[in-house]
Amino acid sequence: MTARLLPILALLLCAPLAHAADSGVALLPDDSGILVSKDIGGERWAIHADLTSDHSLQLTGNVFRGAGSEPAFVMCVPFQVDGSTDDIANAIFHYTCSGTGTCRIGNCPDWVVIASDVTLPGSFFLPH
């Protein structure tokens, strides 16, 4: 197991087991990242968080905006963490996010910056 995921793994393992089944959070089998699938507002977020060498979380995944909608694909690069990733529950992560739509045969839309300062609480990456 890599040392960089130890603080996050410790928090995940300390979460009450009764909430683990519906938490929407899982560690990858090789400890290389975290999968998050949560409802936020009226949207479903399915995100892969990859812990970078500077201990911030780079995000890729998709957001479903409603029943029957096509996914929006997102990639968010961290530029600031308020607090410590050793205390992820109290950290605030800041991202610049780009997005794109679904590719069609022979035609993929360009990636565009969709937000220059998205903030996520560290609790987003933990079971609820």
Q: Which of 8-12, 22-26, 28-32, 92-96 has the highest mean pLDDT?
A: 92-96
Express each pLDDT in 44-94 by its tens digit. Answer: 889 999 977 766 789 999 998 887 888 899 999 999 889 887 788 898 999
Domain count, the chain: 1
Indicate the pTM of the whole model.
0.74
- Band (pLDDT 50/70/90 cuts) for residue 128 is low
User: Exposed, middle or buried, 80 (CB in 10 Å: 0-12/13-18/19+)?
Assistant: exposed
Q: Which domain holds residue 106?
A: 3-125
CA 60, CA 74: separation in Å to the nearest integer?
6
CB 126 within 8 A of CB 88: yes
- pLDDT score of 6 more than 70: no
Residue among 21, 19, 46 at smallest CA distance from 35: 46
- pLDDT score of 20 more than 70: no
